[in-house]
Structure 1
Amino acid sequence: MAGTNSKAELITGGPAIILVEPQLGENIGTAARAMANFGLSELRLVNPRDGWPNQRAKNASAKADHVIDNARLFATLEEALSGLNLVYATTARPRDMFVPVHGPQAAMQKARAHIATGQSCGVLFGRERTGLTNEEIALAGEIVTFPVNPAFASLNIAQAVLLMSYEWMRANSETDTAHFQTPQEPPARKEELIGLFQHLEGALQAANFFRPPEKKNHMVSTLRALFHKGGYSQRDITILRGVVGALEGRRTRNTPRRQAAEAKAAPPE
């Protein structure tokens, strides 16, 4: 189906669409077209195989130039998650992970409510052949699974992006946010949560926590899923980083307030 209205206002915004190591430029282009169809505009690319920019992607985007031209390139998924508070990982396969699982409609309703408060959201899509790894899903924290034929569950990238984009457009923001309370403190961004993961995992490694070693990856994924359930604020992350630092034996920062408190508590000479 073709057709555009040059007089209509272009709808942009919505959650960031993050493609992890996409192979073909054509797949990136058709995903960008699906985004533009339903009002999404932020495309993040993690290490595309054929490099970026890619003329084949632009040709396949059916003039979704505002998506293609503003796409951002990242070397790692951790970098691509920067600035995001809520991230979904898409998969059609069951995963042995203790993270929240949603259908596309519920996920995009939650995303609309989240974005309406001024927070940021992203949706991860995996490689054409192998999808996302469990470690990558653990970085996202929540899963979106598609209700597909279990005997034929494979979706290409553009199809998966189209499904999520359609549900984004279909979600009624006024209805979804009527009972949503703005958090008193800003929720933690993904880079802050990843920093906590790396800090904690380094401390646990030094303490010889990961035993036996061959189970380390599963233990790390389980720990990350546990922290994703918390809904932590930026302040929470700062406190937890301080706790881990204290357990590592670091001195607590000697601030003027702490100095005054210690002087007041000291016995007279």
Structure 2
Amino acid sequence: MTARDEGADLHPIDPSPVVVLVRPQLAENIGSVARAMGNGGLFHLRLVAPRDGWPQDRAMRTASGAYRILESATVHETVADAVADLHRVFATCPRPRHIVKPLLTARGAAAELREIGNRGLRMGLLFGPERAGLDNDDIAHADSLIRYPLNPDFMSLNLAQAVMVMAHEWWMARDATPARDMITHKTHVATKGELENFLTHLIAECDASGFLRNAPKRPGMVRNIRHFFQRGEVTEQELRTLHGIITELAHGRPGARDQGAPEHG
């Protein structure tokens, strides 16, 4: 498999916005943009008057497999031509001035884009040149503006980062991944019954060793032991390991090996 073949499986999974780079200056940045687009499920790229022309081999070197996006990119002389077939256009604009248009966060824009796409309309995202961003004439082609809520004392992003923020929000607007999960591999989260069996074993050995010999304090100490293991998702494999530790510690006491303590795997 060649490096270019590695990106062959990139394909749109649903209607996604067109990314329009207006007067991009560096081929490497265009390649990095394609990589960010692939990460977030954006697959349509248009270039308006790229400074060094197109195509550019240097873009391929920074695309990291997103070659299909670059190979299918189209080049346009003007913003008007690049957005002519679109129904809605959003422009990224870090400091909108003297402009009367709806202003959205990246997350808000992603939600609107999803709704627009669900109605079968075509939409686009405008990103300006690396040094100066979009000018007022570029923004005049947009219906809405997008401003990222970042640290107001430092809002500097390079072109690929700006695209990555929108790509991530576009993806997250449809993603159903749980906010928190537990990786258990070949084991499973222990049931309360399995946990109770372990705690019975542990407390019995704590009694046998004399650790719980202070009768007045014993109930509180037992509760603390229970709380320690009940507050997390202990796995069945971890309980078996702990059973084994307790058994070996019990065997280690003088005379305990002769008493035939139970084995735990």
Q: Same fold (TM over 0.5)?
A: yes
Residue 119 of structure 1 corresponds to 121
State the distance in 2 between where 1:125 and 1:36 align. Answer: 16
- Whether 2:19 is the aligned partner of 1:32: answer no
Which residue is 1:63 aligned to?
A: 65
- Whichever residue aligns with residue 93 of structure 1, its letter is R
In the other structure, the counterpart of 1:109 is 111
Normalised by the length of structure 1, the TM-score is 0.60
Cross-structure match for 2:98: 96
How far is 1:58 from its partner?
1.1
Who is 2:51 aligned against? Answer: 49
Q: Is the 8 A contact 2:26 2:51 kept in 1?
A: yes
Secondary structure in structure 2 of the residue aligned to 1:140: coil
Q: Deviations over 1:165-200 (max 9, x none)?
A: 0111111399xxxxxxxxxxxxxxxxxxxxxxxxxx
Q: Which residue of 2 aligns with 1:265?
A: none
**Structure 1 54/103 Cα, relative in aligned 2: closer, same or farther at 3 Å?**
same
**8 Å contact kept, 1:43–1:72:** yes
Structure 1 ranges of 4+ moved more than 2 A: 4-13
Q: 1:137 aligns with which of 131, 136, 139?
A: 139
Alpha-carbon distance, 1:20 to partner: 0.3
Letter in 2 for 1:36: G
**Is the 2:93–2:147 contact (alpha carbons within 8 Å) kept by the matching residues of 1?**
yes
Contact 1:12–1:40 (Cα < 8 Å) also in 2: no
Is the CA contact (8 Å cut-off) linking 2:46 and 2:74 kept in structure 1?
yes
Distance 1:6 1:72 in 2: 18
Q: Counterpart in 2 of 1:239?
A: none
- Following TM superposition, by how much is the alpha carbon of 1:10 offset from its aligned partner in structure 2, in angstroms? 6.6
Q: Distance in 2 between matches of 1:127 and 1:109?
A: 25
CA RMSD of aligned residues (A): 2.2
Does the aligned pair in 1 maintain the 2:104–2:147 contact within 8 Å? yes
CA contact (8 A) 1:103 1:147 kept: yes
Cα 1:9–1:131 shift into 2, 3 Å: closer
Q: Which residue of 2 aligns with 1:81?
A: 83
Match of 2:23 in 1: 21
8 Å CA contact 2:8, 2:68 repeated in 1: no
8 Å Cα contact 1:44-1:73 kept in structure 2: yes
How much has 1:149 moved relative to structure 2? 1.8
Q: CA deviation at 1:16?
A: 0.2
For residues 50 and 70 of structure 1, what CA distance do their matches in structure 2 show? 18
- TM-score norm. by structure 2 comes to 0.61
For 1:19 and 1:75, locate their aligned partners in 2 and report how far apart those are by CA, in whole Å. Answer: 12
- Structure 1 residue runs of 5 or longer lacking an equivalent are 175-269
- Seen in structure 2, the aligned counterparts of structure 1 residues 99 and 64 have a Cα distance that, compared at 3 Å, is same
Amino acid at match of 1:24: L
Give 5+ residue unaligned stretches, structure 2. 1-5, 177-265
CA positional deviation for 1:90: 0.2
Deviation at 1:93, TM superposition (A): 1.4
Query: What secondary structure is seen at the aligned counterpart in 1 of 2:129?
Result: coil
SS in 1 for 2:84: coil
- What is the aligned partner in structure 1 of residue 166 from structure 2? 164
Q: Deviations over 1:106-146 (max 9, x none)?
A: 10111011011110000000010000011211211210001
Q: Percent identity?
A: 42
1:170–1:7 distance in 2 versus 1, CA, 3 Å: same
3-state SS, counterpart of residue 18 of structure 1? strand
Task: Give the match's secondary structure for 1:139.
Answer: coil
1:154 counterpart residue number: 156
Q: CA offset at residue 75 of structure 1? A: 0.6
1:87 and 1:108 map into 2 onto residues whose CA distance is 12
3-state SS of paired residue (1:109): helix
